[in-house]
Structure 1
């Protein structure tokens, strides 16, 4: 058999290592979105937001001032605008304000008094490298971001360790929810599946997962819809398969969560 040359041409090499246009993961009241070519108008959303840069500084402005840094934390419901070097990649991390992580960061940073603050690079470079590795990898599982989020929260709030332990009954309930997103899900149904009373289940679920059942179901449906869209499903089909009443419901919910429409964020 004649020898073959397995070396890649420069063009093939560039194609193999070309980074994706964006990468997004969403689950359990949090999401991570990494992309470039992003500028926003003034907007607000009911999520705590952290923005980290792959390298260069970016700016967050409100109606009164502008902060430029390689890392910024933004309180929920605060109007703000993002501007940057369009060539640089940025990590956008969104935390539902009802999560324990978001509550901890709001308390540690005092965001009720100073809602937009720069984040020191000290202690978070390892986490940023972890996000870079995830972005450039072929790993698209949302669970891959959980250790990175835990590391980031621990670095930003080092004297307030966050180590949740999940009760087996609650773990079973989360699996049941994800398998039945196209069904009507309420506290009575899921609590029964977990063999708990409604009141005990509601309390234990928020304690263990970090957000109430209603918010968790919404996040699961959004995660499902985003995965469908990213895999090529059109918005209408993704809305119905994701458990939303119609495409407008999905678009409205997405914009409330992230401040932009799905068509803007999930560009190919």
Structure 2
């Protein structure tokens, strides 16, 4: 049974046998689940953490080592509606939990790794895991809803056929879309999504490349999709963000089934 990688606009679900990543920092919040035996989480200058389940807030540098076990890794972007379920827990930092408390976990992994699983079913798996972990296992804490003005700009950026290079973007133009001053918009954006506008654009371009890379003939083509002038710079940035070289993630098709999902077509 192949590893399965599902990529939406604001979510990622990875179901696999074993996983080892390099040190990296995601814009998304992460939920790492190890099924048959504990895995290890490594943080900079700290002892390793053994876990069967762990929640990691956005922008935390870490690497994962899971051997002889199936894993389920979830990435939830701060501009996702699902993020509202976990946003109230951010102040608690990294939280370890017992994945054995997730009902039918082994069956969930099998379903996620099955090639017969539909896009809608994959999202239900993702959604149910988030709701189970933050409510039944970890305490659910209410948080304020995403600011509508920031989400208006986010939706505008997602709708663009060409995602602008971070250096090309005019913050004043985006601020005018929601009737804010440039300075107020800059602070509100970072306060809401924990990242600057320019870094958000960089992550958005990387996500676009990730969703299309398995269709590309080489890394140079993928780099151009992401707006990088050369594949070496693209590979370094991708590895720093996702913990893997793009060639490893997207060229090992014998081991990993990659599914890029258009959320507008799945009713999400």
Give the match's secondary structure for 1:89.
strand
* Secondary structure at 1:158 match in 2: coil
TM-score, with structure 2 as normaliser: 0.67
Q: Tell me, yes or no, if structure 1 residue 45 matches structure 2 residue 9.
A: no
SS at match of 1:172: helix
2:244 to 247, 260, 263: 260
CA distance in 2, matches of 1:24, 1:234: 21
Q: For 1:46-100, what per-residue CA distance to the aligned partner results, in whole angstroms no more than 9, with x for missing partners?
A: 24643213x311321658755544323457234x550311xx4312234679988
Cα 1:94–1:73 shift into 2, 3 Å: same
Following the alignment from structure 1 to structure 2, what is the Cα–Cα distance between the partners of residues 206 and 50? 22
Pairing 1:78-117 to 2, within 5 Å after superposition: 78=62, 80-85=63-68, 88-94=69-75, 105=89, 107-109=91-93, 111=94
What is the CA–CA distance in structure 2 between the aligned matches of 1:37 and 1:59, rounded to whole Å?
9
Contact 1:26–1:219 under 8 Å retained in 2? no
Match in the other structure for 1:72: 54
More moved, 94-103 vs 183-192? 94-103
Unaligned regions of 5+ residues in structure 2, if any?
Answer: 254-268
| Displacement after TM superposition at 1:195 (Å) | 3.7
CA contact (8 A) 2:41 2:64 kept: yes
Query: Aligned partners of 2:140, 2:89: CA distance in 1, in Å?
Result: 12
Structure whose alpha-carbon radius of gyration is higher: 1
Larger relative contact order (C-alpha < 8 A, sep ≥ 6)?
A: 2
Does the alignment pair 1:213 with 2:194? no
1:154 and 2:129 correspond: no
After TM superposition, give the deviation of residue 45 of structure 1 in Å: 1.7
- The separation in 1 between residues aligned to 2:106 and 2:188, in whole angstroms, is 33
Tell whether 2:218 aligns with 1:234. Answer: yes
CA deviation after TM superposition for structure 1 residue 240, in Å: 0.9
- Out of 95-104 and 151-160, give the one that drifted further: 95-104
Distance 2:156 2:78 in 1: 24
1:22 maps to 2:4 = yes
Matched with 1:34 is: 15
Aligned to 1:243: 227
1:226 CA drift (Å): 0.4
**Aligned runs of 1:117-196 on 2, under 5 Å?**
118-121=96-99, 124-125=102-103, 133=111, 136=114, 137-139=117-119, 147=127, 150-151=130-131, 154-155=134-135, 157-162=138-143, 164-167=145-148, 169-178=149-158, 179=160, 180-182=162-164, 184-196=168-180
Native 8 Å contact 2:31 2:75 kept in 1: yes
Question: Structure 1: how far apart are the matches of 2:179 and 2:197?
Answer: 15
> Alpha-carbon deviation of 1:232?
4.0
Q: 1:134 to 1:166 in 2, by over 3 A?
A: farther
The residue aligned with 2:263 is: none
Q: Which moved more, 1:253-262 or 1:210-219?
A: 210-219
Cα distance, 1:235–1:152 mapped onto 2, change above 3 Å? farther
Q: Name the CA shift for 1:74/1:130 in 2 (closer, same or farther; >3 Å).
A: same
* SS of structure 1 residue aligned to 2:61: coil
